[in-house]
Structure 1
Amino acid sequence: MPEYSNLLAFALVSLGMVITPGPNMMYLISRSICQGKRAGLISLAGVALGFVFYMLCAALGITTLLLAIPYAYDALRIGGAAYLLYLAWQALKPGGRSPFQLRELTPDSSRKLFMMGFLTNLLNPKIAVMYLALLPQFLSPAGGNVLSQSLLLGFTQILISVSVNAIIALSAGSMAAFLVKRPAWGVAQRWIMGSVLGGLALKMLFEKPRY
């Protein structure tokens, strides 16, 4: 069982990551607006399966790496921080794209919606960073079995991400109309998320080594 403070901190990080525009959000919003709320929720089911796949693979891999390779954690930490800085720049750079600037999509079957949601998540580097670089920071030897801690943290991330993405899928049309009429809100969203990601990246870079 991870320490309560670590669990809470990881939950907050998971919330910050899920509300940051990325491939999953873009795909779910696109599907919900172009094909309806039901299509958005079916796509979300595929995204959720992708989370489970990553969680199981990462939990087993993290356990092996942390026990076998002293510098593995730092390699993941630095790589994760570099990618977070890239995401922050994508949000803050002039002309940065809003997830509500969408392309038209042709209607797909339920099976294809599910599989596309699954594949979109598997190919999403932000999720790889979440499980391979961020999650290890919240594991504590004092909390007991590392694998059990990884699974509990993973389920926490999945619960938060699925809940937030379900709200986004169900309200995508209303949110898009709101931001189109109020472009300043879209700019504020990008700056807030970019600042959060940049701060988290710097925290990761300057964290003390664990060996």
Structure 2
Amino acid sequence: MLAPMLPSFLLVVLLVELTPGPNMGWLALLSASEGRRAGFAATAGIGLGLATIAAASALGLAQLAHASPLIFNLLRYAGAAFLLWLAWEAWGAQREVSPTAFHKNGTAAKHFRRGLIINLLNPKAALFFIAVLPVHIVPNGTVAMQTAQLSIAYVAIATTIHVIIVLLAGRAHGWLITGPYTRLVRHGFAMMLAAIALWFFVGTFR
């Protein structure tokens, strides 16, 4: 049985992952400069980091939903607020790639470790699983199954987008970092995220 809120969750994940940002720019720059092998290594590290956070959150959310429904519902409210914050950040975030996130002439193992560490220590990724994911869970006896399904869907979508960026490499870098429509795209995604967040607020507080 599929999670009831899976379609809306997939939409949110697509919007978040498709919004141009520093991580996407770093991955595109790395692939364009070091080749696809380096990009795929970094993508594997990013995927493992996201999967690790997802597994930890799945266990914690399932236990929390059983132990304290009130706190679980408060997390759902916080998730809608977090989506608004993501929309605000997407609207005004800088497009530059952090120089500390890019190391030229590194080995595939180093790029894998960097992708892994960046995501394991990324508070935004953790907040997404802890706060946004519960918004899409129906509090019943299948919380663990729903959480697992949504977590797998998130990692799959994020990894697919990262693989596409690696394959496009140079073109992706130019579009994400210096493209003339980058700001317009960011603003469009930001407005859609804000609309979804407000929709969640209305639905959650009914």
Q: Same fold (TM over 0.5)?
A: yes
Residues 79-118 of structure 1 correspond to what in structure 2 (within 5 A)?
Answer: 79-93=78-92, 96-98=93-95, 103=99, 105-118=103-116
Distance 1:8 1:205, change over 3 A: closer
- 1:35 positional shift: 1.5
Partner of 2:166: 169
Separation (CA, whole Å) in 2 of partners of 1:187 and 1:52: 30
Separation (CA, whole Å) in 2 of partners of 1:120 and 1:197: 24
Q: Gapped runs of 5+ residues in structure 1?
A: none
Superposed CA deviations along residues 111-157 of structure 1, whole A, max 9, x for unmatched, are 11111101111122332233112222222356x53212211221111
Distance 1:120 1:114, change over 3 A: same
Superposed CA deviations along residues 17-37 of structure 1, whole A, max 9, x for unmatched, are 211234532331232133122
- 1:102 positional shift: 6.3
Q: Is the 8 A contact 2:65 2:139 kept in 1?
A: no
Which residue identity does 2:79 align to in structure 1? G
| Identity, % of aligned positions | 34
What RMSD over aligned residues (CA atoms) do the two structures have, in Å? 2.5
Q: Is the 8 A contact 1:24 1:121 kept in 2?
A: no
Q: Which moved more, 1:41-50 or 1:71-80?
A: 71-80
Separation (CA, whole Å) in 2 of partners of 1:58 and 1:38: 30
Matched, 1:50 2:45: no
Partner of 1:149: 146
Matched, 1:199 2:195: yes
Q: Secondary structure at the match of 2:69?
A: coil
Partner of 1:2: 2
Q: Gapped runs of 5+ residues in structure 2?
A: none
Distance 1:181 1:148, change over 3 A: closer
Q: Is the 8 A contact 2:22 2:95 kept in 1?
A: no
Separation (CA, whole Å) in 2 of partners of 1:15 and 1:179: 16
Separation (CA, whole Å) in 2 of partners of 1:180 and 1:70: 43
Q: Is the 8 A contact 2:64 2:71 kept in 1?
A: yes
| Corresponding residue to 1:130 among 125, 128, 131 | 128
Separation (CA, whole Å) in 1 of partners of 2:22 and 2:177: 20
The aligned length equals 204
Q: Is the 8 A contact 1:30 1:102 kept in 2?
A: no
